[in-house]
Amino acid sequence: MNEIPISHILFVSTALFFIGMYGLFTRRNMITMLMAIELILNSVNINFVVFNKYLYPDKLDGIFFTIFIIAIAAAEAAVAIAIIINLYRNHQSIDVEEAEEMKF
Amino acid sequence: MNYSQYILLIPLLPLAGFLVLGLFGKSYFNKSAGIIGTLFLLVAAILSLYTAYNYFFIDGKVNGVYQSIIPFKYTWLSFSENISIDMGFVLDPISVMMLVVVTFVSLMVHIFSLWYMKGEERFSTYYAFLGLFTFSMLGLVISTNIFQIYMFWELVGVSSYLLIGFYYDKPSAVAASKKAFIVTRFADLAFLIGILILGFQAETLDFGTLIQRLTDIQSSQFIGITTASFFGVSLLTWALTLVFIGGAGKSAMLPLHIWLPDAMEGPTPVSALIHAATMVVAGVYLVARLFPVFHINQASLHIVTFVGVASALFAAIIACTQTDIKRVLAYSTMSQIGYMMFSLGISGIGGENGLGYTASLFHLFTHAFFKSLLFLAAGAVIHLVHSNELKDMGGLKRYMPVTHIVFLVACLAISGIFPFAGFFSKEEILLASYESNKIVYAIALFTSGLTAFYMFRLYFSIFWNKQKDLHSHHGEGNMSMKIPLWILAVCTCTAGFISFGKYVSADGKELASHFHILFSIVPVTVSLLGILLAMLLYKKENGKPQAISNSLGGLYKTAYHKFYIDEVYLFITKKIIFNLVGRPAAWIDKNIIDGIMNGIAGVTASISSAIKGIQSGKVQSYALYFFAGIIAMAIVFVYLWK
């Protein structure tokens, strides 16, 4: 069992992406939405790692990108949680449906 | 003598007065504004007299002909090599004469106003406006360029507007100022078109060059302007007629005179300055300035004659029936300007033929003195009686001896009785018309009788007739009111003895004064008859004037209503122009122009309200649109974009 076909892995990453997408659009809780975004980012990470491994096994560019994305995702989570806390202070809720003042 | 050292001060001093009083008058010199304005003008008047002395007696003449000297000229706006608008200062007999008249009469009015306008709330504004007017009028008479004259012409119109509407809380004054402005603006439009035709065809706007080119029948410009025609009339005739319409508007000639009687709503000294002595003669001045060109085109000169004679007679008839003293004086001004106009119209150039020209300007000169005297005296009367109506006056000679005497002097002058100024100038006009056109002479003679009649009607009704009880006994006035009256009265007595033809003539050469005792008998007799008639009717209170006006019936009524000219204007504007042009234009504006604009706005609004639902404020739907967009773009770029 030395080789897993690339299509399997791409299937996993695509599934992960669309699960994340689905969660982003259907959840009303902002924390859950944040988690869905993490799923999307991780599906991208998998893609990077896989393509790096299969196309350029001698290089590390894809891996580096993955690490960057993990770092950025951490920062993003911090910012997002700050936003969520502020939202909670204003609305006593973290339901995105409640926060719709910025409309026509 | 170097004129350029001081000459510019003459117009600039009144302008300085205007700026100082206009900007700082209200806050700093509300009390002393009169003195300041008068001092500025005093210096300007002295400089003008000095200039006149230098010009006429020292260096104006070369080989017996008065030259036109241009001590200052500045190209202000240059359109092409030939055509430019210049700001210049020309000295020739008529402009120097006008400089003296304008500054002198203006100075008298300034002094008189010290008394007349005392205690007015807008005292400094009044003097500022007087300064502006004097500046513009001086700028007008010294113009070297036909466009310069036009600009000052408009400035004069503006200052007249401001001064007529000086009592802006009085609706009639506001209406009068608007009327004056609008009527003269219409005339000025014609003037502007005339200027453009002349400038285009003569390829210059400079007076000297223009006159030189258009009087030389060999020049290409002259051939061009006379051969080109419009509706079968040569362009030169058109241009000159249009210029004359401009002049007729300012000078209140038929049928553009309707603003002048209403302009009497302004303060009386203003009427003396603007609507009697200076501004209204601007039209005469303009025709005189372009006289060589007018002379070469007899058709336009005939129009001048006809309009002048008609205005003189027409205004004199109306003046006999009016009861407001200032209106009588206004119509008399119009009549006298009619004299000046037709005198120019019948004149020729050179030697004896140029008598009409000299006579016209001589009459302008003398008229300035006695008409401003009449107005100032009327101002004094109005100040005492607090009314313009003749029926409120009577027996005033006891209360105001000085005014009585100067008014009598001025009335004698305007009636043309020896030895007052009007006699000499009017005799010359009558002589010139006798020599060139007998019909004009007959009308002028009749008008002169009418003039004597209505002036003495005024005189006897104010100072004699039945005694009226005066409620206010604040006396006649102080020195600043009496001095100008005396000075003007002295000028009225002596100005006629100046041998005017020596200084001002159509060709610059000397013209001997014309004075034939035999010829004078007829006009003087006619005038005396007029005076006698007025004396019989108005010296003592009696029922005769009423009886005569009753027996004249419709004729009297027509004249009393100024021949219904105002009504004709109102009919044309209100009934015809408003209904046929104004209302359809308003309809188009309201329904079509506004409709298009409202339609565009309405479509935009309905589209936006239809699609504003997209902006729901829901983050997730935005994200959905975003992803939908990316997917659409991915499909386009990956599969469809080959």
B559/B453 Cα distance (integer angstroms): 15
CB contact under 8 A, B617 and A103: yes
Q: Which of B607, B611, B612, B619 to mutate to test the interface with A (most CBs of A within 10 A)?
A: B619
Looking from the CA of B312 toward its CB, the CA atoms found within 13 Å total 29
The maximal CA–CA distance of chain B, rounded, in angstroms, is 117
CB contact under 8 A, A25 and B620: yes
φ, ψ (nearest 5 deg) of residue B230: -140, 120
Residue B279's pLDDT is what?
87
**Chain A closest-CA separation from residue B573 CA (Å):** 52
Structure confidence by residue, pLDDT tens digits, B582-610: 889 999 999 999 999 999 999 999 999 98
Q: What is the ipTM of this complex?
A: 0.84
**List of domains in chain A:** 6-102 (1.10.287.3510)
Q: For residue A2, name the pLDDT band (cuts at 50, 70, 90).
A: low
Residue B463's pLDDT is what?
81
Residues of B in contact with A37 (CB under 8 A): none
Residues of B in contact with A103 (CB under 8 A): 615-618
Residue B513's pLDDT is what?
64
Amino acid residing at B523: P
Give chain B's mean pLDDT. 85
Structure confidence by residue, pLDDT tens digits, B267-302: 888 888 888 888 888 989 999 888 888 888 888 888
B467 versus A23: the higher-pLDDT residue is: A23
B570 versus B192: the higher-pLDDT residue is: B192
Residue B558 · residue B564 · CB < 8 Å: yes
Chain B residues within 8 angstroms (CB to CB) of chain A: 612-613, 615-620, 623-624, 627
- Comparing alpha-carbon positions, the chain B residue that sits nearest to A27 is B620
Structure confidence by residue, pLDDT tens digits, B443-466: 988 998 888 888 888 888 888 777
3-state DSSP percent of chain A in helix, strand and coil, to 5: 75, 0, 25
Structure confidence by residue, pLDDT tens digits, B384-396: 888 888 777 777 7
Residue B347's pLDDT is what?
82
Structure confidence by residue, pLDDT tens digits, A37-70: 999 999 999 999 999 988 888 999 999 999 999 9
Residue B547, helix vs strand vs coil: helix
Minimal Cβ distance to A96: which of B612, B613, B620:
B620
Task: Provide the total of helices (H) and of strands (E) in chain A, helices listed first.
Answer: 3, 0
Chain A residues within 8 angstroms (CB to CB) of chain B: 21, 24-25, 33, 96-97, 99-104
- Comparing alpha-carbon positions, the chain B residue that sits nearest to A100 is B617
- Comparing alpha-carbon positions, the chain B residue that sits nearest to A104 is B615
- Comparing alpha-carbon positions, the chain B residue that sits nearest to A29 is B620
Q: For residue A19, name the pLDDT band (cuts at 50, 70, 90).
A: very high
Residue A52's pLDDT is what?
92
Q: What percent of chain B has pLDDT over 90?
A: 13
pTM for the model stands at: 0.78
| pLDDT higher than threshold 70 for residue B126 | yes
Q: For residue A12, name the pLDDT band (cuts at 50, 70, 90).
A: very high
B104/B514 Cα distance (integer angstroms): 26
β-sheet bridge partners, residue A95:
A29
The DSSP H or E segment spanning B473 is: none
CB contact under 8 A, B617 and A24: no
Residue A33's pLDDT is what?
92
